[in-house]
Structure 1
Amino acid sequence: MPSHLSADHPAAQPPPHGTVDALISQTRRLRGDMDAVRRDAPADGTDPQGRWQRALCDLAVHQLDDLDAHLAQLRDGPPPAPVEDEAAPSAAGSEPASSPRPGSLLSRVGSAEWNLLTDEVSWSGELYQILGRDPAAPPLTLDELPSVVLDEDRPGLTAMVTDCLVDAKPIDGEFRVVRPDGDVRTVHVMGEPVLDVDGSTASMWAVLRDVSELRRSQRTVSETRDSLQRQRHAAQTERRLAVELQEAVLPPWRGSPMLPRQGPGTLELAARHLPSSSGALIGGDWYDALDLPDGDTLLSAGDLTGRGVAVTSGMAMLLGALRGMAVAGTEPGRLLGCLNQLLDASAQPALGSAVCCRYRPTSRTLVWAQAGHPAPLLFRNGTGRALTPPDGVLLGATSGAVYGQAEEALEPGDLLLLHTEGLVPPRGGFPRPDTAGGAQDTAAVSRLLALAPRFREARTAQDCVRTVVEEFGETTERDDDACVLVARVAT
């Protein structure tokens, strides 16, 4: 192949071997470190973030492999030109023994020169391999080269070659070629014009590199990154919708409402919703208090399993049904039975726990039922205890479930605390369907009961809720959302 020299530039000297060897050693050390990172990258193909991390590692390893091979070529110099003698290939399509094996890193870089004065074309053996052409066939002229290029890439190649030949501009670009076997390869070309003594272009030389694998790795990185961004956007959108729905169903109470608004035995109320520590998705926890037409007060708390918009909308449906039946005068035990039937017949089966209390202010009597839910805690005169729960299984656990009721006489100054399991999670998660709310974590409930002296000193129900939040914290490592509701009987 003719020397790539212009008339007014001397030949570039090869870099010292020691310098290139040092770069090769650094590259190989980095390659080993990158291999270790790749081994530690998540291999689970179902996780978008794991796929993106794995694709980035593969791309980095691919680039380091190419860099190592290119530095080795730089150190060793160009391969010797094949000698054309009687030792020609024995059959069309065979390659010289000195050629790199197809698909190797060294076979990805080839070179060519087109002499405009003699119409001679010189290709390296690697370029034949890149384009998938028979080494015995003559190399393609500049006029013939576009015939192997994809139609949509031909204008770009033509513009690069024209700029090089007419305006002596260097070439740096990519185009896609179709090999005889139909395989499409992406080729990156860098080249320069070789000027004659009078400054006109005498020939054009170029180095062509097969970057198909590199571009494929880059596309994989881009696609996995886009998939990860879409997943994050979807999660953010779902969370925003769930939060908006939850806030619409459970608006924060202003101050400490009093129910009923008039008469003896009024309850001073306060409540708080505590998000999970991850805050990724909103769950199905709720608290509620409602002034009923007959003068009674409805108190309830519950939790629908799962997270996200579907669960929050299910919680809204359940809470709406609970309120409607309570307004119609349905007693707590019967009410929970109807909610169980509603969940059992739902198109999207779910499990839920709930505690439903009907407070009669004239007699200061609490009638309550539970469905696999922590029992209310009663605090009186500086001590606390959990109410003995009546029978009740999880909502949606079994068809035709019957829920018992219990009554508790309250006194002025008594404090009732309802909470969901996310606040004080039991060791085994939800209680089994055959239990009656007895799977609470005893030590954790003891922490709530230990707050009795502080509740006695609190001036308002809101102060009691703040005490609970201080004890368990809004940033506690909770896996689930939680709700707490405090009702204090006015003195």
Structure 2
Amino acid sequence: MPSHLFADRPAPQPPERDAVDALINRTRLLRGDVDAVRRDTSVIDDDPQLRWQRALCELAVHQLDDLGEHLGQLRDGIHRPTAAEPAGAACAETPAEAPTGSLLSRVGSAEWNLLTDEVSWSDELFQIFGKAPGTGALSLDELPSALLAEDQPLLTSMVTDCLVDGRPIDGEFRILLPDGGMRTLHMMGEPVLDSDGCTASMWAVLRDVSRLRRSQHIVVRTQDTLRRREQMARAEHRMAVELQEAVLPPWRGSLPIPGRGTSGLDIAAHYLPSGSSDLIGGDWYDALPLPDGKTLLTVGDLTGHGIPATSAMAMLLGALRGMAVAGIGPGAVMGHLNQLIECSAQPALGSAVCCRFDPATGTLAWAQAGHPAPLLFRNGEGRPLPSPDGVLLGAASGVTYEQDHVALLPGDVLVLHTGGLTRQSDPSVGPDTLLGLAPRIAQARTAQDCVRAVVEELGSAERLDDACVLVARVEA
């Protein structure tokens, strides 16, 4: 029985792979064009404009590399980190709002002259640091004071390597703004050498990457959330399967009644999972020899999936068994189950069939609660039993469930099933398909052969919900 809460809710659809592939190809072409411009850009140490142009090309290439990587993840699915790659590798900062506008408004340049102690900052760099242009630029000695304390050693190391060893600068650090905010900056630069090969100055381009890092952090957090949900879903599925297997043992053969021989029934049952969901539902089947020599036969279904549905099913089935052992008839059992669902902490809707077979008289007493009627196969023909009145469990209060009686003969086959067996994506599959198995069931020698015929006919079809089938064959 599909959930009444989620039956009409469409499943989310992933983006079209061809559309993402097209974006990736366009990004690669653009990246190649930008890289060609970067290679063609001449490097003249005393021309700040050319250094600025080359730095912008470098930044654009990095941006396009990031874009290509993200589009690849969108196409191929969530990235699974290896054991050597921490899941939360992104910086867990919450940076302040970056300056609005184009890329140029988030990139500034600076040059520190070691011979004259002059410092030159672009207007954009003042804006990035949250300073007014007239307040003066920070010298290399003053610059670390604007950084977070834990990032200051990194900047000092980069500047030292640049000035002493002539290494290019390429790194990131976080700065504190006068208003208390925080930004992440990516710094790229090189030493400028004089005619003697000594370092005369250092230039750098600083890019505000706060938005990029914040987006990366959001992506990582989202990935972590998805992984946790997947792990929880797998654990819930495993627990639901274990609970269901403990409650629904595979019945095969006659049910022995201690001290009384057999029940007069050959019984077999089978559970068929849904083709559209990985979660276990609330379907059940049961066959129980009773102290008075009679036999309980029941199938049912609760709405929902997973641990809540299977635990509620186990509770309901336990109550049903207890009432049957106490000698309560099927109609009264249905009424008490309806009250039990109403009193539960998590109310649900359910359907059920409850039968009580007396081998001494061959009489079957039964009641139903909004459930498909049992099918009776006799002499090569099948028909559903006329249903006594009964509404869904949990649908109304103070409901009385009628109880009916039918005489069974040796060789009769009774098929009880949940609605998911015939409610499938193929509209041609329905209750008539089960009735059409009458010739095969007539030739079957055991209840297990009958179940096998049902599973072969309907087991491979695409079901909209999980299902149970229980077959009871009256022995001679």
Partner of 2:232: 234
Distance 1:222-1:443 versus aligned 2 partners, 3 A rule? closer
Q: In structure 2, what is the equivalent of residue 256 of structure 1?
A: 253
Secondary structure at the aligned position of 1:284 is classed as: coil
Higher Cα Rg: structure 1 or 2?
1
Residue 275 (structure 2) pairs with residue 289 (structure 1): no
Where 1:136 maps in the other structure, the secondary structure is helix
- Distance of 2:317 and 2:132 partners within structure 1: 76
Q: Is the 8 A contact 1:170 1:190 kept in 2?
A: yes
Q: Is the 8 A contact 2:41 2:50 kept in 1?
A: no
1:449 aligns with 2:435: yes
Q: CA deviation at 1:363?
A: 1.1
| 8 Å Cα contact 1:376/1:419 also seen in 2 | yes
Secondary structure of 1:453's counterpart equals helix
- The equivalent of 2:472 in structure 1 is 487
Structure 1, gaps ≥5 residues long: 1-46, 82-100, 428-440
> 117, 126, 130: which is aligned to 2:128?
130
> How far does residue 126 in structure 1 lie from its aligned partner after superposition?
2.7
Residue 215 of structure 2 aligns to a residue whose secondary structure is: helix
1:464 to 447, 450, 463: 450
Q: Which 4+ runs in 1 deviate beyond 6 A? A: 47-51, 66-73, 75-78
Q: Which residue of 1 aligns with 2:6?
A: none
Distance in 2 of aligned mates of 1:426 and 1:116: 79
Residue number in structure 2 paired with 1:273: 271
Distance 1:144 1:412, change over 3 A: same
Matched, 1:184 2:170: no
TM-score, with normalisation over the residues of structure 1?
Answer: 0.75
What secondary structure does 1:281 align onto? Answer: coil
CA distance in 2, matches of 1:67, 1:143: 37
Deviation at 1:459, TM superposition (A): 2.1
SS at match of 1:147: helix
Give the match's secondary structure for 1:325: helix
1:378 to 372, 376, 379: 376
Structure 1 residue 48, shift from structure 2 partner = 10
Aligned partner of 2:206 in structure 1 is 208
SS of 1:188 mapped into structure 2: strand
Asked if structure 2 preserves the Cα contact closer than 8 Å seen for 1:48 and 1:227, the reply is no
**Contact 1:48–1:224 under 8 Å retained in 2:** no
- Corresponding pairs, count: 408
Aligned twin of 1:115: 113
Query: Where does the alignment leave 5 or more consecutive residues of structure 2 unmatched?
Result: 1-10, 43-47, 52-98
Matched, 1:333 2:331: yes
Q: 3-state DSSP class of the match of 1:283?
A: coil
Q: Any idea what the Cα deviations from partners look like across 1:190-249, whole Å, max 9, x if unmatched?
A: 122234455543322222111111112211211221222222222222111111111111
SS at match of 1:222: helix
Task: Name the counterpart of 1:105.
Answer: 103
Which digits, 9 at most, give the CA deviation of each residue in 1:335-382, with x for residues without a partner?
111111111111211111110000000111111111111110000010
Corresponding residue SS for 1:462: helix
In structure 1, what is the Cα distance between the partners aligned to 2:169 and 2:332?
Answer: 83
Residue identity over aligned pairs, in percent, reads 64
Cα-to-partner distance string for 1:429-468 (whole Å, 9 max, x where unaligned): xxxxxxxxxxxx9971111111000101112211111111
Letter in 1 for 2:451: V
Q: 1:144 to 1:171 in 2, by over 3 A?
A: same
- Counterpart of 1:321 (choices 319, 342, 353) is 319
C-alpha deviations, 1:281-304, integer Å up to 9, x for none?
111000000011111111000011
RMSD between aligned residues? 3.4
SS of match in other structure, 2:157? helix
Alignment of 1:48-447 (within 5 A): 103-253=101-251, 255-260=252-257, 263=261, 266-425=264-423, 444-447=430-433
